[in-house]
Amino acid sequence: MKKQQLQEEGYVVLRKFFKPEKIAAVRIQAQAIFKIQFDKFGYTGTFKENMVQLFNEHFDIFSNCGKQIQQGLIELYQLAFDDKLIKELKTLGLEFPNVCTRPVMFFNHPDLAKEAQYYKTPKHQDWPSMQSSADSVVVWIPLIDVNEENGAVIFYPKTHKLGPLTNSLEGGFGTVKLDESQFEKIQPNMELGDIVVFSTLLVHESGDISNDSIRWSCHFRYTNMFEPDYIERGFPHPYIYKSLA
C-alpha cells in the first residue's frame, strides 16, 4: 500500500515513524551549537531572538554554525543511516539504497535569510541537481510539528510522472513552472516523529511562515544503485555543494 502510493502519488507520509524524543534530540543538539555563540556574546533573548541577532550582527559566525551542523552533526548523520529508515526504503522499492548527497538541516525564517529562496523554496524538483536513479527519493523530516502556519512543505501529487521538467538550476534549485489547475495541491500537517518520503521528480515548494517561528527540518536523499537507467548512465553525480551565504 505504501509502495503503491509512492509510485502513484509520488509521496507517502509515514506517521509516528520515529519516536518524538529521537527527532527532538537532533534539533536540540543543533541548537546547542548556536547557543555556544549566544553565550559568548552574552545574548539573553529567546532562542529565535538570539538567532536573528547573531544573523544580523555576526553573519559569518552564524554561517559557520550552520556549516558545522551540515558537515558533521552526529545525530543528523545517524538519522540518515538509521537501520529502520533504510529497511523502510527497501520496502518502498529501493533495492540498493545509497545516500547520494550529504544530509541537510534547515532552520527557516524570513529574518534568517538574505534572499527569499533561502527560507521559502519555489516550485522545484530535486532530481535535476543530482540526476540519480529514476526511483530516487527524498526523506523529509520535520524537527518540530509543522502545519500551514509555519510553512509545511507543499506537494503536487502525480507530478513526478511528468519526468524532469528542467535542466536549469537557477538559484541552486530545479525551479519549474506548473499549471496548478491541472494538479492537486496538498500541505500535510506533520507531528514530531512523522516523516514523508517523496520522489525526487515530485514538484514541491515551501509554504509561507505566518506565525513568526523558525521551521526546523532535515532531509536526506537516496538513490537506487540497481536501477537500470542509472547503471547505464554510469552513476552520474553532478551535485555541487555551494554555500548559501
- Is the alpha carbon torsion for 129, 133, 134, 138 positive or negative? negative
Q: Where are the domains of the chain?
A: 2-232
Q: How far is 66 from 34, CA to CA, in rounded Å? A: 8
Distance of alpha carbon 181 from its chain centroid, rounded? 26
> Where does the pLDDT of residue 176 fall: very low under 50, low under 70, confident under 90, or very high at 90 and above?
confident
How confident is the model at residue 105, as a pLDDT? Answer: 96
The whole-model pTM stands at 0.93
pLDDT digits (tens, 9 = 90+) for 123-145: 999 998 889 999 999 999 999 99
153 pLDDT higher than 60: yes
For the ranges 29-33, 44-48, 121-125, which has the lowest average pLDDT? Answer: 121-125
What pLDDT does residue 244 have? 45
Who has greater pLDDT, 51 or 240?
51
pLDDT in tens, 73-102: 999 999 999 999 999 999 999 999 999 999
- Cβ proximity of 153 and 101 under 8 Å: no
Q: Convert the pLDDT of each residue in 215-240 to its tens digit.
A: 999 999 999 999 999 999 999 887 76
CATH superfamily for 2-232 is q2cbj1_9rhob like domain (2.60.120.620)
At residue 126, φ and ψ (nearest 5 deg) are -85, -25
**Beta-sheet strands, E only, within the chain:** 11-14, 97-99, 104-108, 124-125, 137-142, 154-155, 174-175, 195-199, 204-205, 215-224
Contact 141, 203 (CB under 8 A): no
Q: What is the rounded average pLDDT of the residues 193-219?
A: 96
